[in-house]
């Protein structure tokens, strides 16, 4: 059965709140200033999503429709992030305890971003066609967040990948 718009917005609010809380808590615990800044930016971005969804829910309840308003993002596009890798400077090595904590935080963030992305994929398929652009934009942004978190995780773990692109090969050619 197709999900109604009000139910989709309310469920999206639950997902966005959960994701925001993960980032806000991680930012509060982060010792590294760059990590704290990145996590804080992601938390603020998710709060913006929550505010936007509340406005759309109010609009829906008042008028029975939602206007096609584009959700803004403070974060760069996935293409811009890939381009930025060219100028990426080597990070200072983290002590093992900090690296383990950062990796755990990023894996948790990756999991909640994957969950919210899967939710938006389902919603885009389930809601009436007129409501799809609202959720398609959220899907696009959350996929960008997922890419950022994956890139940070790749950087911390040192597996030689950046946005799923292998940076070096261990095998001789």
- Per-residue pLDDT tens digits for 118-157: 999 999 999 888 889 999 999 999 998 888 888 888 777 7
Closest of 112, 101, 137, 121 to residue 29, by C-alpha:
101
Least trusted range by pLDDT, from 21-25, 46-50, 96-100: 96-100
- Residue 129: enclosing H or E segment and its boundaries? none
CATH topology of domain 5-71+98-161: Ferritin (1.20.1260)
Let me know: does 100 contact 34? Beta carbons within 8 Å. Answer: no
What's the pTM value of the predicted model, to 2 decimals? 0.79
pLDDT band at 94 (very low <50, low <70, confident <90, very high): low
- Give the other-Cβ count within 10 Å of 52's Cβ: 19
């Amino acid at each position: 059965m197709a999900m109604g718009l009000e139910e989709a917005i309310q469920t999206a609010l639950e997902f966005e709140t959960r994701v925001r809380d993960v980032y806000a808590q991680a930012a509060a615990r982060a010792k590294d200033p760059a990590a704290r800044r990145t996590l804080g930016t992601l938390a603020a971005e998710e709060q913006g999503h929550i505010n936007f969804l509340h406005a759309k829910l109010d609009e829906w309840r008042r008028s029975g429709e939602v206007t096609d308003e584009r959700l803004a993002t403070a974060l760069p596009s996935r293409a811009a992030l890939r381009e930025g890798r060219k100028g990426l400077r080597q990070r200072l090595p983290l002590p093992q305890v900090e690296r383990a904590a950062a990796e755990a935080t990023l894996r948790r963030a990756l999991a909640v971003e994957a969950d919210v992305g899967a939710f938006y994929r389902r919603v885009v398929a389930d809601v009436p066609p007129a409501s799809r652009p609202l959720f398609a934009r959220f899907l696009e942004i959350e996929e960008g967040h997922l890419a950022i978190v994956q890139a940070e995780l790749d950087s911390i773990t040192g597996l030689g990948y950046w946005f799923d692109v292998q940076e070096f090969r261990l095998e001789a050619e």
